[in-house]
């Protein structure tokens, strides 16, 4: 099985690119949202660590955002609890798809949390800064202070680009993305 990790800036279209590979995708953001909605164990752990902010189940993303904005150490507490569960879910996903030729890992902190293995293929999604900002501002819960906190815990884009085996241009048109994906798959298959 070939594992392809998708890297890039927040809002660069990593999930969009991941989906267009046409192989099973492990989407960590989606799994985190599900955890907040369905996992009482995660709720109780977060409530214990952040009693001032986490009040009700299912967990409201606004509560998470407020905790992160209030104190830098809160983000670390959240990550520690959530990533443990996400890693378990990823392992289940990998077992379930062990007979697939390729799987895609769409995990925002893939490098930072040392989730990738040496032999994994890393693809960096490159987008124009102006396009990224325009897209981010359209998001329902856009908050520039929150965005900065998330960017602060991530490696720089130059570092991610250097670590990547391939760079795919995302101008947010399907044609460009598909051409980039086909080129990558041709080289690795």
In tens, the pLDDT along 47-78 reads: 999 999 999 999 998 999 999 999 889 999 99
| DSSP-based helix, strand, coil % in the chain, nearest 5 | 55, 15, 30
- Does the domain spanning 1-24+101-189 belong to CATH 3.40.50.920? no
Domain ranges of the chain: 1-24+101-189, 29-96
Helix (H, G, I), strand (E, B) or coil at 66: helix
Give me 153's structure tokens.
Answer: 């815990």
pLDDT higher than 90, residue 148: no
- Give, as one character, the DSSP assignment of residue 36: H
In tens, the pLDDT along 88-121 reads: 999 999 999 999 999 999 998 899 988 889 999 9
Looking at every residue in the chain, the average pLDDT score rounds to 94
How confident is the model at residue 150, as a pLDDT?
87
Q: What is the mean pLDDT of residues 3-8?
A: 97
pLDDT higher than 90, residue 44: yes
**Cα gap 92→78, rounded to integer Å:** 22
How confident is the model at residue 133, as a pLDDT?
86
- Which residue do the tokens 């929150």 mark? 146
Q: Are strands 121-126 and 2-8 parallel, antiparallel or unpaired?
A: parallel
Measured in whole angstroms, how far is the alpha carbon of residue 140 from the centre of its chain?
18
Residue 21's pLDDT band, with cuts at 50, 70 and 90, is very high
How confident is the model at residue 145, as a pLDDT?
87
């Amino acid at each position: 099985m070939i594992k392809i990790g998708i890297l890039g800036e927040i809002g660069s279209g990593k999930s969009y690119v991941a989906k267009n590979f046409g192989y099973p995708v492990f989407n960590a953001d989606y799994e985190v949202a599900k955890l907040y909605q369905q996992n009482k164990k995660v709720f109780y752990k977060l409530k214990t660590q952040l009693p001032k902010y986490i009040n009700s189940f299912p967990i409201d993303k606004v509560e998470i955002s407020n905790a992160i904005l209030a104190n830098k150490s809160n983000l670390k507490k959240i990550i520690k609890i959530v990533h443990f569960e996400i890693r378990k879910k990823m392992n289940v996903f990998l077992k379930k798809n062990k007979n697939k030729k390729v799987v895609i890992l769409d995990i925002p902190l893939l490098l930072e949390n040392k989730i990738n293995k040496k032999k994994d293929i890393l693809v960096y999604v490159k987008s124009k800064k102006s396009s990224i900002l325009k897209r981010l501002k359209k998001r329902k819960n856009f908050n520039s202070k929150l965005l900065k906190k998330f960017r602060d815990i991530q490696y720089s884009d130059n570092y991610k680009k250097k670590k990547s085996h391939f760079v795919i241009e995302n101008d947010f048109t399907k044609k460009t993305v598909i051409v980039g994906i086909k080129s990558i798959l041709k080289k690795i298959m």
